[in-house]
Amino acid sequence: MKIGNLRDWEIIDLGQKISFPAEGERRVGFDVMASTWCSITAEYVDEDGVVVAVPVAAGRGFMRVEYVVSGPSAIVARSVGECDVAVRGVARSSVVAASDEPSFASAMTGGRRNDEVSRMLYVMKLNEKRREERMAFTIAEMKARSAAEAAVKAAEEAAQEPDPGKGKRDAAQEPDPGKGKPDAAPSA
């Protein structure tokens, strides 16, 4: 588990509210470290003006919590017994929907990409390109083979069919059964 810089963590008291002021829709994200079992509840005000409490996390140890809410919200940590709770990354929360006020902050974090991940992505793209090339070659080969087989089949069928005019010519060229035989002697 990566805890990061210890100065980023803020220890909070149980029942203490941490507010997230916002106009419009907002993504709230933070990390929680708890020594024993605790629950994290998010509170927001709905359209009717009623405060709604929604449990967003429960557990012990390290928890990453993210939620989207329209308007301001707050989180509260609660536990049955004694519990030390630390929160980090409250400043990471960002606005999801556009608001009327201009914003000069970027929602994208410019993190450095891991060299191994970059190499793996490059190899994956290279393999995909090679696979696509092989597939295109195989498809072209199959189409050529299919066309050649169709041509051979057509040639075989043409060789087996009788010529429609051949039968008439043969009949016309056949000798007459009465011709060419010597006349029989007349019988008396």
User: pLDDT digits over 114-170, tens only?
Assistant: 788 889 999 999 999 999 999 999 999 999 999 999 999 999 988 887 666 655 555
d(CA 90, CA 16): 14
| Alpha-carbon separation of residue 121 from 6, 115, 117, 126 (angstroms) | 33, 10, 6, 9
Contact 38, 14 (CB under 8 A): yes
Is the pLDDT at 110 greater than 70? The verdict is no
* Predicted TM-score of the model (pTM): 0.46
pLDDT category, 185, cuts 50, 70, 90? low
CA 81 to chain centre: 44
Q: Which CATH architecture has domain 7-95?
A: Sandwich (2.60)
Contact 34, 95 (CB under 8 A): no
Q: Which residue has the higher pLDDT, 15 or 129?
A: 129
pLDDT at 96: 46
* Predicted confidence (pLDDT) per residue in 18-75, tens digit: 888 877 888 888 888 998 889 999 888 888 888 888 889 888 888 898 888 888 888 8
d(CA 181, CA 185): 12
List the structure tokens of 184: 């029989």
pLDDT category, 92, cuts 50, 70, 90? very low
Mean pLDDT of 64-92: 84
Contact 113, 37 (CB under 8 A): no
Helix (H) or strand (E) holding 34: strand 25-45
